Amino acid sequence: MSEPDHGNEAGPLSDAALQLYASLAETEQEIPESQRAALKELLDYGLARPGYFRTNTWVAVPPWDAEAELLAAEQNRMALSLARLREVPRTMVKAAQAYATSGLHISGRSYIIESREKVNSEIEAALNNAQSEITTAQPGSRSRTAMSVATPRDQGLLRRGVTLRTLYHPSSRTNPFVQEYVEAVAELGGEVRTLGLEFPRMVLVDNSAGFVTLKLPGAPEHAALHTTDPAHIAWMRNAVFDAFWPLGEVWDPTAQAPTVAADEIKATVLKLLLDGHTQRAIEPKVGLSRSGLDRVIADLKADYGAQSLFQLGAKYRESELCRPASDE
């Protein structure tokens, strides 16, 4: 059977192609050279296939069959493209981290900070010296202490005319300390979005300072790469942060709180469990503490009538959530 050509953009069928299609619907037949272009149009839409009874003949494919096959192929292509779109920035972040950890590539403008205290100190100093733009990505949980420092600092920056864009995980929508922060900065023009994908923790200040966490074998738990190279910072902003930002959902504190946040967290946790991640590894990915993740898993077990994680995974795979989308 000849497969439709999904690699090219097929235009509307010509009159010649429609006439040939009507003829093939009546009987299978050989196609003369003069009608090969029309046949190609039909093949692009999956509307023709080799004949059943004779060689070198063609027959029409019912339009509903061709439509189902064509739409399924296009949906698969779109899914692969979206997966690629999401994977490229994550891959580039990992590549940048691997590149940066080589001693041959750490210059006077880029170096690794190994302790949490030093990381926080240098980030705070850079933020306080911001002149025009701050972009931050915070995938993990945020404490009362962290937000009590961030709120007045960022309010002051916004009042000075510094623009602020921040990306959080959807779980932050249920964090009261983050909620208060978002209300405070939004009043002054700060932009906040949430994204249920795994993205790197980073802080970018103007073109003068960039920080990104290092998650590599052997690296200290709280290590970060600090760079003051404008080219590196521009790449981190344009190729990494700006790739995730359009995918995020705007967090408008004046609007009614979305009910999908909890469902999105549950869906993310389920996917990570099915992918083989441990609960300890899941916690930072969804921005939850151990007790918070335990509550989510307990709710999931109740939702699916499961007694164990294994049973939860089995029941989830059987549910509608894991079935391919229909062609309707």
Closest CA to 14 of 45, 60, 57: 45
Looking at the DSSP assignment, which residues form a beta bridge with residue 165? 135, 191
The predicted-structure confidence for 23-35, as pLDDT tens digits, reads as follows 988 888 899 999 9
Strands 209-213 and 224-227, sheet pairing: antiparallel
Show the 3-state SS of the chain.
CCCCCCCCCCCCCCHHHHHHHHHHHHCCECCCHHHHHHHHHHHHCCCEEECCCCCCCEEECCHHHHHHHHHHHHHHHHHHHHHHHHHHHHHHHHHHHHHHCCCCCCCCCEEEECCHHHHHHHHHHHHHCCCCEEEEEECCCCCHHHHHHHHHHHHHHHHCCCEEEEEECHHHHHCHHHHHHHHHHHCCCCEEEECCCCCCCEEEECCCEEEEECCCCCCCCCCEEEECCHHHHHHHHHHHHHHHHHHCEECCCCCCCCCHHHHHHHHHHHHHHHCCCCHHHHHHHHCCCHHHHHHHHHHHHHHHCCCCHHHHHHHHHHCHHHCCCCCC
Q: What is the pLDDT of residue 99?
A: 64
Distance CA 75, CA 311 (A): 31
Please state the separation of Cα 83 from the chain's center in Å. Answer: 8
> CA-to-CA distance for 303 and 312, rounded, in angstroms?
9
pLDDT given for residue 303 in this prediction: 81
Say how far apart CA 288 and CA 265 lie, in whole Å. Answer: 10
User: What is the C-alpha R_g of the chain?
Assistant: 27
Domain assignments of the chain as residue spans, ordered by start: 15-61, 110-250, 259-322
User: Looking at residue 182, what is its pLDDT?
Assistant: 94
- Burial label for 138, CB within 10 Å (0-12, 13-18, 19+), is buried
What pLDDT score was predicted for residue 106?
A: 53
pLDDT at 256: 61
Residue 178 · residue 172 · CB < 8 Å: yes
Confirm if 39 and 20 have CB atoms less than 8 A apart. Answer: yes
pLDDT on residue 307 = 82
Kindly list the distances between the CA atom of residue 90 and the CA atoms of 57, 93, 119, 201, 231, in Å, as whole numbers in the listed order: 49, 5, 22, 11, 19
Q: What is the Cα 134 distance to its own chain's centre?
A: 22
What average pLDDT does the structure give for the chain? Answer: 81
- Asked whether this chain's domains 110-250 and 259-322 adopt the same fold, the reply is no
Q: Which two tokens stand for residue 58?
A: 């063609």
- 63-71: list long-range contacts, CB under 8 Å, 24+ apart: 66/4, 68/327, 69/4, 70/4, 70/6, 70/45, 70/46, 71/327
Distance between CA 125 and CA 122 in Å, rounded?
A: 5
Question: What's the pLDDT score for residue 140?
Answer: 74
CATH no. for 110-250 = 3.30.870.10
Domain 259-322 fold is Arc Repressor Mutant, subunit A (1.10.10)
Residue 288 carries which side chain, given as an amino acid letter? L
The predicted structure's pLDDT at residue 218: 64
List average pLDDT for each run of 10 residues in the chain, which is 328 residues long: 51 88 88 91 89 84 86 84 80 73 57 83 92 91 85 95 93 86 94 87 92 73 84 88 90 69 74 79 72 80 81 73 47
**Per-residue confidence (pLDDT) for residue 126, from 0 to 100:** 93
How far is C-alpha 122 from the chain's CA centre? 29
